[in-house]
Amino acid sequence: MDRKKFILKIVNPDGHCGYHAILNQFINLDADIKSIFKLESEPILKSSSPIKYDKKTIKQMRLSVYNGMMKNPEKYVEPTNKNGRNMPMDSIITNAYMHDSVIQWISKESNICITVYFPLGVKDHQWQEFKPTLNTDFVCEKSIYLENTNGNHFNILVPKS
């Protein structure tokens, strides 16, 4: 994939950026976010530049992810803090940064592929695709794209038309 074929949308850098980014893109895909994340009400977009949603929605998303992951905790690794140190699983509810296990769980629950671009230097990069299943033959019908700029912060990548 070529990063130049995407438009960057900036997300609020408040520690919940991965949730803001995924929520925004799921809404754009018309995904059933209320069911996926057990939301009590429609999310409220607080800012469109940078992207930011209401605290109640983000809190409910985090709790839903945590509860879902705790049904099979052995399948998921612990979140880490910005220094790379492990944090307890329940930190997903409050302040843990988005990490691979959370992205994988969200992909599985939503049946939406999530592809993350990691710039690793001036000319080096990596794309990581999270699919709802480990079946390598699975074809994604719906996909979203994110950029992880520094290991902690997520922004949105929108394919150019």
Q: What is the dihedral of CA 114, 120, 125, 131, to 10 degrees?
A: -20
- How far apart CA 16 and CA 112 sit, in angstroms, is 20
What was the pLDDT predicted at 47? 95
pTM score of the predicted model? 0.92
Domains of the chain: 3-159 (3.90.70.80)
Q: Closest by alpha carbon to 25, among 116, 93, 126?
A: 116
Average pLDDT over every residue of 120-137: 85
Cis before 50? omega within 30: yes
User: Residue 47: enclosing H or E segment and its boundaries?
Assistant: strand 45-48
CB atoms within 10 A of CB 60: 19
Residue 123's pLDDT is what? 76
Average predicted confidence (pLDDT) for the chain = 91
User: pLDDT at residue 80 above 80?
Assistant: no
